[in-house]
C-alpha cells in the first residue's frame, strides 16, 4: 500500500512540475490571438452582458462559403438568456465557415443553437452534421430541441480552421452563433495518468479533441464566461450530487486562493477553488461515507476527467487526507494536499484519463475519508470537468468518421481483421465457401429497428482478409491487444489462480466448448466467474476475442458484464460478474431446484428480451447474439436475467439487413431460415428466443431425444398443440392453476410469432418485449382477482396479503419425477457448432 501511495505521489508531483515547464510565463490573463465571435443571421453586432461583442452576419460573410439561399431568421420577442439566441442562420445546402488561424494550437469552438420560431422552417426537426477541418465530427445528425451550446477544445495544426454544416436527408442546418477562440498551450498537457491500470500513462493527449460534457464549480454558484479566465461556463454541482445530506458547501474569499509556481488561474479561476463540497456531518464520531456525484456518460468514448482541489477546510497543514474515486475506481489514493501544494488554499488539479470500459452508468465521482485513524475525517472537491475524447475515427458524436469509416463496424481495423484472419486460417482447409450477397430487402428501411442513421453511410474497406493472414499468429495477437481500448481490466494469472484456489475442480461452475468456468473471489472480495479457455483450440481464440470485443463495448443491466481478462502465458481468461443463481434453465428443469413462479418466469423472460433488444438496437451497429438459449440466460442474486456468452455474436455492418455466415448455434434453437439460407439476421435470435419461451412455459429441453419422435423438438411439438388450441395441456404442471389463462395465451402467442417460418414474419425483440410485459400485466390483474376471490392457488393462500408472493420460489419435492428422461438429455454445450465453415462478415 505504501508503495502505491508513493507511486501516486510521484505521478502527482510530475504533473505539477510539467505545468511549470509548459507555462513559464505564468500569466494570469490570456489574450487570444484568434478571437472570432459571430452572431449568425443577425443584422447588427451584438454585445453580451459579459461585454463580448459578436459581429453581425453581413460582416462575417467573408468567413462563409455557401451556395444556397440566404436565410436569416429573427425573433426579437423571444425570451432568451442571451441576445445571440434571437437570430439564426439557416442553410439549405452545405455551408462552410473557415477561419484563419494566426497561431496553431488549442482553440475553443463553441456552437450556439436555438430553434427560433418562424413560419418557414420547423427548426426543431432539423437534422444536421457538423464537421471541423474536414476530419473531426463534432455533431452527427444533430437536432437541437431548445437552447443548446456545444463546446469543443481542439488542437488546430493547420492555418485554416473550417466548420462545415450539412443537413441530413433534405433537412436544413442552422446555427445561432459561433465562437472560435484561441486557448493557451497549457490548457491540456500531453501526458495524463490513466485511471486504470494504475501507473499507466497516456501520451499524445494533445492530438485528441475534446467536447465538454460537464464543468462544475463544486459547492459554488454558476460562473459565467465573463467571470472565467478563458470564457468558460462553470455550472453548479447541486444537480449531480447524489445525496445532498452527505455534503456541505463551504467557501472562502477568492482572493485568498493562491497558485503554485507554474500553476495558473487559466486552468480554473480562483472562484472555482474558493468553494467546495465537504462531507456533511463530518463532526460525527466516525463518519465513513463518500460524497458522490453522478453523471450520465456514453461509454463509447474515453474521457478526460479533471479534478480541482484546494484545501479551504483545514485549520493547519497535514490534517486532511482523503481518497478520490472516479468511475468506482480509486483515482487518487490518500490525497494529501498539504504535501502536494505546500500550503492551505493553494490551487491544485489532477487529470485522469478514463478509458471507455471504465465508464460505468451512472458514472460516479466520489471523495471519501481514509479508513485510518489519522487526520480529519473529511474529503473535499472544488471543481470538476469531464471532457469527451474523440474516438478512433475522430468523431465526438457517433461511430462514424468524416470519411464514413466506422469505429465499431467490420472496418474496425485490426480487431476485426485478426478475428477473421483467424477464422480464415482455421477453416480454409475445409474449403472456403463463396459468400453470396443478397440485395437488401425492400422493406428493410421501414421494418428494421436498427438505428436508421446507419443507413446512408457506407462501410469501410474489407481488404484486411488477404493481408493479415500473412502475419504470424503471435504478432496478430499482440496487435489485437495493443489496438483496442475496450478490454476491461487486466488481471494477472497469479491473481486469478489465487481467486479460484489454484483452479480447484470444486470451483468449476460450468463447462463449455471453450473451457471451464470457475467461481472465484478477487482480492477485493468481488465474486467472479472465470472462464478459462483452452489455448489449443483455434476456435477458442476466435470466440475469446469476439466475446471480449463484444462485451467491452456493451454495458447493460441485462447483459452479463465483463470485469477483466488475462492473456498471460498464452492463457485466454475472461472474468465476469458472478451470477449467483446460474442459468435460467436450471430453474426450469433437470436440476431439482425449487420451481419458479409464473410471474418470476415472466420477469426473467422480460429481462432477457430487454438484453437482446439492446443488442439488436442499442449499440451503434446491431449485434446478433447467435446463441440464444436457456443456458445463456443467467440469473443474479435477485433473479435478474442477463444474457451471456457472446462467443458467437456478430456485428451487422452499417445498413446491412443480414450477414452471410456459416450456420452456428445450438440444436433445437436454430432458426430454420438461417439454416437454409445461411444468412444471419436479428430475426434468428428472435426465433431462438421463441424456443426459450416455450421452455419457460413447458419446462423441458428444446431437444429431448429420449422422448417419442414427434416430441423430441420442443418448437415443433408445442406449436402442434398451440395450433390445436391445447397448449395448456403440455405446460409445466407446476404452473397449472397458478397461471392466468390470458397471460398464458399472450405469452404463447408471442412465442408462436417468434417461431414464424420466415424472419420477416417474426416480431422484433421490441415487440416481443411489449407482449411479454403485457402478459405480465395480465397475470398481475388475474392474480388480484384470484386472491380477492379467496379461491386462488396454494401460493396465494399461503400469503394472501402479499401481492408479491409470486417472487418467492416454492419448493416442490417431486420436481425430479417430473421428467424421468432428464438424465439422458444431451448436453447443449456453450458452443455446439453445427458446421465449422469459415464465417464471413462482409459489407456491401
Ligand atoms: C461576475 O460575477 C459578479 C459577482 O459574482 C456578478 O455580479 C456578475 O454579473 C458576473 N458577471 C458575469 C458576466 O457573469
Ligand atoms: C479552408 O478549408 C475549407 C475546407 O477544406 C475550404 O473549403 C476553404 O476554402 C479553406 N479556406 C482557405 C482560406 O484556404
Ligand atoms: C498540437 O498537436 C501537435 C501534433 O499533432 C503537437 O506537436 C503540438 O504540440 C500540439 N499543440 C499543443 C498546444 O499542444
Ligand atoms: C452554500 O450555498 C448556499 C446557496 O446554495 C449559499 O447561500 C451559502 O452561503 C453557501 N454556504 C457557504 C458556507 O458557502
Ligand atoms: C467510496 O467509493 C468507493 C468507490 O465506489 C468504494 O470502493 C468505497 O467503498 C466507498 N467508501 C465508502 C466508505 O462507502
Ligand atoms: C482522436 O483523433 C486523433 C487524430 O485523428 C487520433 O490520433 C487519436 O487516436 C484519436 N483518439 C482516440 C482516443 O482514438
Ligand atoms: C371467483 O371464482 C369463481 C370460481 O372459482 C368464479 O366463477 C368467479 O368469477 C370468481 N370471481 C371473481 C371476482 O373473480
140's grid cell: 452527427
The residue nearest atom 7 of ligand 5, judged by CA position, is: 328
pLDDT of residue 678: 76
CA dist 587 and 824 (Å) reads 18
State the Cα–Cα distance between residues 552 and 571, nearest whole angstrom.
18
Q: How far is the CA of 227 from the centre of ligand 1 (A)?
A: 6
Q: What is the pLDDT of residue 374?
A: 61
* Residue 651 DSSP SS3: strand
Residue nearest atom 9 of ligand 2, based on CA coordinates: 98
Q: For residue 6, what pLDDT is reported?
A: 34
Q: Set out the domains of the chain in order of their start, with CATH numbers.
A: 35-186 (2.60.120.430), 212-389 (2.60.120.430), 443-577 (3.30.200.20), 584-652+660-819 (1.10.510.10)
> Which atom of ligand 4 has the smallest separation from the CA of 238?
5
- pLDDT on residue 761: 94
Ligand at minimal distance from the CA of 254 is: 1
* Ligand 1 atom with least separation from CA of 51: 13
Backbone angles phi, psi at 520, to 5 degrees: -150, 160
Using alpha carbons only, how large is the chain's radius of gyration in Å? 30
C-beta separation of 188 from 205 below 8 A: yes
Is there an atom of ligand 6 within 6 Å of 389 CB?
A: yes
pLDDT at 706: 86
CA 229 – CA 250 distance, rounded (Å): 22
- Identify the pLDDT of residue 553: 65
3-state SS assignment for residue 405: coil
Is 531 labelled a binding residue? Answer: yes
- Return the pLDDT at 455: 17
66-77 residue pLDDT tens:
999 999 999 988
Of all protein residues, the one whose alpha carbon is nearest to atom 14 of ligand 7 is 785
Helix (H, G, I), strand (E, B) or coil at 628: coil
Long-range CB contacts for residues 502-511, cutoff 8 Å, separation at least 24: 503/532, 509/582, 510/830, 511/829
List the alpha helices (DSSP H) in 630-709.
672-677, 682-698
Regarding the beta carbon of 135 and ligand 2, being less than 6 Å apart is answered: no
Cis peptide before 680 (omega within 30 of 0): no
Atom of ligand 5 nearest to the CA of 364: 5
Pair 234, 174: CB distance under 8 Å: no
Catalytic residues: 627
Q: To test the ligand 1 pocket, which listed residue (51, 227, 275) has its Cβ within 8 A of the most ligand atoms?
A: 227
Residue nearest to atom 2 of ligand 2 (CA): 162
- State the pLDDT at residue 602: 95
Task: For residue 435, give the DSSP letter.
Answer: P
Residues of the chain scoring pLDDT < 70: 1-27, 282-286, 372-375, 406-488, 512-514, 535-553, 619-620, 647-665, 782-844
pLDDT for res 416? 30
DSSP state of 770: H
Q: Which protein residue's CA is at the shortest distance from atom 8 of ligand 2? A: 98
How many A from CA of 221 to the centre of ligand 4?
9
In ligand 4, the atom with minimum distance to the C-alpha of 221 is: 5
Contact 288, 371 (CB under 8 A): yes
Give the number of whichever ligand sits closest to the CA of residue 242.
Answer: 5
- Check residue 78 and give its pLDDT: 87
CA–CA separation, 359 and 185 (whole Å): 28
Amino acid at each position: 500500500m505504501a508503495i502505491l501511495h508513493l507511486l501516486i505521489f510521484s505521478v502527482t508531483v510530475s504533473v505539477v512540475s510539467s505545468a511549470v515547464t509548459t507555462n513559464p510565463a505564468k500569466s494570469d490573463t490570456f489574450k487570444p490571438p484568434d478571437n472570432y465571435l459571430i452572431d449568425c443571421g443577425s443584422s447588427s453586432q451584438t454585445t453580451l452582458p459579459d461585454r463580448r461583442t459578436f459581429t453581425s452576419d453581413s460582416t462575417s460573410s467573408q468567413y462563409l462559403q455557401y451556395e444556397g439561399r440566404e436565410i436569416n431568421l429573427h425573433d426579437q420577442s423571444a425570451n432568451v438568456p442571451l441576445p445571440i439566441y434571437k437570430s439564426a442562420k439557416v442553410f439549405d445546402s452545405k455551408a462552410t465557415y473557415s477561419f484563419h488561424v494566426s497561431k496553431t494550437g488549442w482553440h475553443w469552438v463553441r456552437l450556439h443553437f436555438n430553434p427560433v420560431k418562424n413560419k418557414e422552417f420547423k427548426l426543431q426537426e432539423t437534422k444536421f452534421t457538423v464537421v471541423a477541418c474536414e476530419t473531426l465530427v463534432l455533431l452527427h445528425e444533430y437536432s437541437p430541441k431548445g437552447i443548446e451550446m456545444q463546446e469543443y477544445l481542439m488542437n488546430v495544426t493547420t492555418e485554416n480552421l473550417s466548420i462545415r454544416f450539412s443537413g441530413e436527408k433534405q433537412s436544413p442546418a442552422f446555427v445561432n452563433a459561433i465562437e472560435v477562440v484561441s486557448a493557451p498551450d497549457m490548457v491540456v498537457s500531453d501526458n495524463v495518468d490513466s485511471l486504470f491500470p494504475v501507473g499507466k500513462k497516456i501520451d499524445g493527449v494533445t492530438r485528441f479533441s475534446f467536447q465538454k460534457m460537464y464543468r462544475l464549480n463544486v459547492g459554488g454558484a454558476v460562473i459565467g464566461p465573463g467571470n472565467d479566465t478563458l470564457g468558460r461556463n462553470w455550472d453548479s454541482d447541486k444537480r449531480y450530487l447524489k445525496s445532498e445530506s452527505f455534503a456541505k458547501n463551504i467557501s472562502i474569499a477568492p482572493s485568498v486562493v493562491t497558485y503554485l509556481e507554474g500553476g495558473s488561474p487559466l486552468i480554473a479561476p480562483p472562484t472555482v477553488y474558493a468553494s467546495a463540497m465537504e462531507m456533511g456531518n463530518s463532526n460525527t464520531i466516525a463518519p465513513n461515507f463518500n460524497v458522490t456525484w453522478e453523471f450520465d456518460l456514453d461509454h463509447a468514448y474515453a474521457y478526460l476527467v479533471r479534478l480541482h482541489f484546494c484545501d479551504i477546510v483545514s485549520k493547519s497543514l497535514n490534517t486532511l487526507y482523503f481518497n478520490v474515486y472516479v468511475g468506482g475506481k480509486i483515482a487518487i489514493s490518500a490525497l494529501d494536499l498539504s504535501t502536494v501544494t505546500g500550503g492551505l488554499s493553494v490551487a491544485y488539479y489532477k487529470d485522469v484519463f478514463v478509458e471507455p470500459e471504465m465508464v460505468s452508468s451512472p458514472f460516479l465521482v466520489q471523495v471519501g475519508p481514509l479508513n485510518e485513524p489519522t487526520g480529519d475525517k473529511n474529503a473535499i472537491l472544488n471543481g470538476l470537468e469531464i471532457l469527451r475524447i474523440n474516438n478512433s475515427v475522430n468523431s465526438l458524436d457517433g461511430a462514424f468518421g468524416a470519411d464514413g469509416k466506422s469505429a465499431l463496424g467490420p472496418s474496425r481495423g485490426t480487431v476485426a481483421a485478426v478475428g477473421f484472419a483467424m477464422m480464415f486460417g482455421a477453416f480454409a482447409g475445409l474449403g472456403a465457401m463463396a459468400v453470396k450477397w443478397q440485395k437488401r430487402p425492400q422493406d428493410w428501411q421501414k421494418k428494421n429497428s436498427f438505428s436508421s442513421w446507419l443507413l446512408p453511410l457506407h462501410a469501410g474497406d474489407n481488404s484486411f482478409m488477404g493481408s493479415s493472414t500473412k502475419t504470424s499468429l503471435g504478432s496478430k495477437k499482440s496487435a489485437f491487444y495493443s489496438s483496442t481500448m475496450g478490454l476491461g481490466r487486466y488481471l494477472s494469472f497469479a491473481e486469478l489462480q489465487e481467486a479460484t484456489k489454484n483452479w480447484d475442480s470444486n470451483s468449476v461452475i460450468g463447462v463449455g466448448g471453450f473451457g471451464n468456468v470457475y467461481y472465484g473471489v478477487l482480492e477485493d472480495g468481488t465474486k467472479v466467474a472465470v472462464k478459462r479457455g483452452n489455448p489449443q483450440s483455434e476456435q477458442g481464440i476466435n470466440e475469446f476475442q469476439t466475446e471480449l470485443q463484444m462485451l467491452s463495448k456493451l454495458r447493460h443491466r441485462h447483459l452479463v458484464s465483463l470485469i477483466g481478462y488475462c492473456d498471460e502465458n498464452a492463457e485466454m481468461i475472461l472474468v465476469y460478474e458472478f451470477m449467483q443463481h446460474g442459468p435460467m434453465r436450471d430453474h426450469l428443469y433437470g436440476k431439482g431446484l425449487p420451481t419458479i413462479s409464473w410471474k418470476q418466469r415472466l420477469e426473467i423472460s422480460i429481462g432477457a428480451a430487454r438484453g437482446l433488444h439492446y443488442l439488436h438496437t442499442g449499440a451503434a451497429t446491431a449485434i446478433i447474439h447467435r446463441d440464444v438459449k436457456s443456458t445463456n440466460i443467467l440469473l443474479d442474486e435477485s433473479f435478474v436475467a442477463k444474457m451471456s456468452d457472446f462467443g458467437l455474436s456478430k456485428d451487422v455492418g452499417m445498413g446491412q439487413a443480414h450477414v452471410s455466415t456459416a450456420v452456428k448455434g445450438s440444436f433445437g434453437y436454430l432458426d430454420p431460415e438461417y439454416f437454409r439460407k445461411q444468412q444471419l439476421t436479428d430475426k434468428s435470435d428472435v426465433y431462438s428466443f421463441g424456443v426459450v419461451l416455450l421452455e419457460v412455459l413447458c419446462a423441458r429441453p428444446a431437444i429431448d431425444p429420449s422422448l417419442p419422435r414427434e416430441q423430441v423438438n420442443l418448437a415443433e411439438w408445442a406449436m402442434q398443440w398451440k395450433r390445436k388450441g391445447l397448449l395448456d395441456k403440455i405446460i409445466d404442471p407446476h404452473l397449472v392453476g397458478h397461471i392466468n389463462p390470458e397471460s398464458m395465451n399472450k405469452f404463447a402467442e408471442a412465442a408462436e410469432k417468434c417461431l414464424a417460418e420466415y424472419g420477416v414474419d417474426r416480431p422484433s425483440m421490441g415487440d416481443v418485449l411489449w407482449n411479454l410485459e403485457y402478459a405480465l400485466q395480465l397475470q398481475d390483474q388475474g392474480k388480484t382477482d384470484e386472491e380477492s376471490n379467496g379461491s386462488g392457488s396454494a401460493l396465494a393462500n399461503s400469503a394472501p396479503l402479499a401481492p408479491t408472493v409470486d417472487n418467492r420460489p416454492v419448493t416442490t419435492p417431486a420436481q425430479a419425477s417430473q421428467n424421468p428422461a432428464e438424465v439422458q438429455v444431451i448436453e447443449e454445450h456453450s458452443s455446439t457448432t453445427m458446421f465449422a465453415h469459415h464465417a464471413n462478415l462482409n459489407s456491401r
